[in-house]
């Protein structure tokens, strides 16, 4: 109930009317969640920033096409999703994912060995996540990171609800298998 009330408090009508304060509020509210989502999909900091900027520009241009103001968040994530898909299509022959992972900040109270182990585990998880097809990675991130319900993920990705459920199921299964494989010890080559 609180989430619905929060959505209703968004100043979408004022933004549609051209209020810079309303746009500033919407930008501040959604810039970090959008960046996190796009960053997880494309894996490149500057590209993620560019795609988020393109998302807000497109939102400003097309806000008049939004039918339900309370769905602004889903609509905005849908634009970001389409920007990522467009990027993948433009660069289909290249590897669009940067294998480098950003350094994760560690808690100053961490024991150095524990921080290193945690970073290695995070890197292994991100490596496995990046191995998933973009459509599977996207539904996982929208559902678990951004906490969108299945119905809104269908709207964001422009796919039927059944397809979202199927992708989510296969993505979880594939990610689990990848994580299991990455945690298994690698056999050493036999000595001659």
Tens digit of pLDDT for each residue in 50-83?
Answer: 999 999 999 999 998 888 888 899 899 999 988 9
Confidence of residue 9 (pLDDT cuts 50, 70, 90): confident
- Tell which wins on pLDDT, 108 or 32: 32
Instruction: Evaluate if residue 139 carries a pLDDT over 60.
Output: yes
Instruction: Evaluate if residue 43 carries a pLDDT over 60.
Output: yes
Query: What per-residue confidence (pLDDT) applies to 126?
Result: 74
User: How many domains are contained in the chain?
Assistant: 2
Tell me the torsion sign for CA atoms 43, 45, 48, 50.
negative
One domain for residues 47 and 133: no
Query: What per-residue confidence (pLDDT) applies to 181?
Result: 82
One domain for residues 1 and 77: yes
The CA distance from 180 to 192, in Å, is 30
Q: What is the mean pLDDT of residues 154-164?
A: 91
CB 87 within 8 A of CB 41: no
Candidates 5, 12, 8; CA nearest to 26 is 12
Among candidate residues 91, 125, 158, the one where a domain is terminated? 91
Tens digit of pLDDT for each residue in 97-131?
Answer: 433 333 333 344 445 556 556 666 666 777 788 88
Instruction: Indicate whether 105 belongs to any domain.
Output: no
- Specify the residue for token string 């993505």: 171
Instruction: Indicate whether 83 belongs to any domain.
Output: yes
One domain for residues 117 and 74: no
Q: What is the mean pLDDT of the chain?
A: 78
One domain for residues 85 and 120: no
Instruction: Indicate whether 192 belongs to any domain.
Output: no
Instruction: Indicate whether 10 belongs to any domain.
Output: yes
Domain of 155: which CATH number?
A: 1.10.10.10
Which range marks the domain in which residue 16 is found? 1-91
Least confident of 4-13, 68-77, 129-138: 4-13
DSSP state of 105: P
Confidence of residue 4 (pLDDT cuts 50, 70, 90): very low
One domain for residues 120 and 75: no
One domain for residues 6 and 51: yes
Instruction: Indicate whether 21 belongs to any domain.
Output: yes
Phi-psi region of 158 (alpha: psi -120 to 50; beta: other; left: phi over 0): left
The CA distance from 147 to 139, in Å, is 10
One domain for residues 20 and 77: yes
One domain for residues 78 and 1: yes
Instruction: Evaluate if residue 8 carries a pLDDT over 70.
Output: no
Instruction: Indicate whether 99 belongs to any domain.
Output: no
One domain for residues 117 and 54: no
| High-pLDDT (> 70) share of the chain, % | 74
């Amino acid at each position: 109930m609180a989430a619905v009330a929060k959505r209703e408090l968004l100043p979408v009508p004022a933004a549609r009317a051209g209020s810079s304060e309303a746009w500033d509020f919407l930008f501040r509210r959604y810039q970090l969640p959008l960046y996190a989502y796009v960053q997880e999909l494309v894996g490149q900091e500057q590209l993620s920033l560019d795609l988020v900027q393109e998302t807000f520009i497109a939102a400003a241009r097309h806000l008049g096409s939004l039918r339900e103001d309370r769905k602004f968040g889903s609509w905005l994530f849908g634009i970001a999703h389409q920007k990522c898909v467009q990027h993948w299509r433009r660069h289909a022959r290249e590897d669009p994912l940067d294998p480098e992972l950003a350094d994760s900040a560690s808690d100053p109270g961490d024991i150095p060995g524990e921080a290193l182990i945690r970073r290695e585990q995070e890197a292994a998880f991100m490596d496995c996540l990046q191995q998933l097809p973009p459509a599977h990675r996207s539904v996982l991130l929208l559902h678990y990171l951004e906490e969108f319900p299945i119905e809104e993920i269908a709207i964001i990705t422009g796919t039927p609800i059944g397809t979202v459920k199927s992708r989510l199921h296969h993505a979880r299964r594939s990610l689990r298998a990848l994580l299991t494989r990455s945690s298994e010890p690698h056999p050493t080559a036999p000595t001659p």
